[in-house]
Amino acid sequence: MKFYNRNGMLYISISGKRVSTKLQDTPKNRVLFANTVNEDEFFDKFNVNKKENIPSILELCEEVLQEKEKILKGTSLLAYNSCYTNKVIPFFKNIKLKQLKPKDIFDWYKTFSGSSSIKTSEAILKEAIEKALIAEYIQASPFVIKKPKFLSTYEMKPFSLDEIMKILNSKAEKSFLNFLGVLFFTGMRIGEALGLQWQDIDFENDEISINRTITSGLIQSPKTPSSKRVIDLLPQARLFLEKQKRINGLCKYVIINKKTKQHYNTSSTLRLTWKSLSKQLNMEYRNIYQTRHSFASNMLNNGEELLWVSSMLGHKTADITLKKYSKFIKDKRIRRAIFLDKMDLSIS
């Protein structure tokens, strides 16, 4: 009898599925449930073959997820559980471990329409198969074929300085414009900006500490170790932060929901506002993440140092920055952000 914890509740594995015991997951309840319920009767009720000692594919996958819970961030764990629920369970729930063949993997790959979830789903299944090989439940791995390659449909379309000025001079809600101004002139990821607190900003030394991110309602450390960083506070970003401070200076977070007076839990909340502004300005809609690309491309296109841009973005190495933004790099070197000096700091 295998127990699992999900959101504080005690679950038991039945044919690869987690069935709730309706009890809180505590050591006392685990003992209570194990002593109260006759295992044979319990497994008979769910039509599980007790004589078959080989675990199911889904049971092995659940073991993988249990291990992932100890090492993954909350948002990553959500992604793994989503892929397991939507891509692994539906396909493999009726396939026995010893019957699993390369053709099954080939057919499974066909259920994916893009690369966004295939890597995570494959990671779960491959680790489950590795467990089966180590335990000698099977003699060979069915992963003998290459996974399909999908062409990315994502296109980098940074905003020009003229477009940025058009956006920031619009009649959109002031707090939202301040949010966009911070994004355009720091290169922060959206979640990093949502997680920014006033205590993270050193106005005296012109520095901003990136210590957290808010994604899918979870407050956690930044994306990677290199993402936790200290960046320069440019005059243009300072302008919008000072304006925002006059709006919500008593709040803990810099960017807050005007109605709730609390931080936003996800950038999707702001998506409708962003789409509405794009339509209002008669501009092609581009994902709000393009603000980050805009910072990098405009800085590099105007002669800024690659290493400085890379450190502002929180990339692990300058090679990553170079690979993504090489077409924007110019040889001519000018003083840091001098091209921004011509911008009107009296933006309304």
The strands making up 9-14's β-sheet, listed across from edge to edge, are 3-6, 9-14, 17-24
Band (pLDDT 50/70/90 cuts) for residue 46 is very low
Kindly report which listed range (55-59, 70-74, 295-299, 322-326) carries the lowest average pLDDT score: 70-74
The position carrying tokens 């790959």 is 109
Report the predicted TM-score, pTM, of the whole model to 2 decimal places. 0.69
Q: How far apart are CA 171 and CA 202, in angstroms?
A: 29
The crossing angle, in degrees rounded to 10, of helices 290-301 and 161-168 is: 130
Phi, psi angles (nearest 5°) of residue 236: -65, -40
What mean pLDDT is predicted for residues 190-216?
95
Indicate the domain borders of the chain: 75-152, 161-342
Phi, psi angles (nearest 5°) of residue 28: -65, -45
pLDDT for position 147: 84
How do residues 153-182 score in pLDDT, each as one tens digit?
778 999 999 999 999 999 999 999 999 999
161-342 domain in CATH 1.10.443.10? yes
Q: How far apart are CA 309 and CA 296, in angstroms?
A: 6
Band (pLDDT 50/70/90 cuts) for residue 152 is confident
Rg (C-alpha) for the chain, rounded Å, is 26
Is 218's pLDDT higher than 90?
no
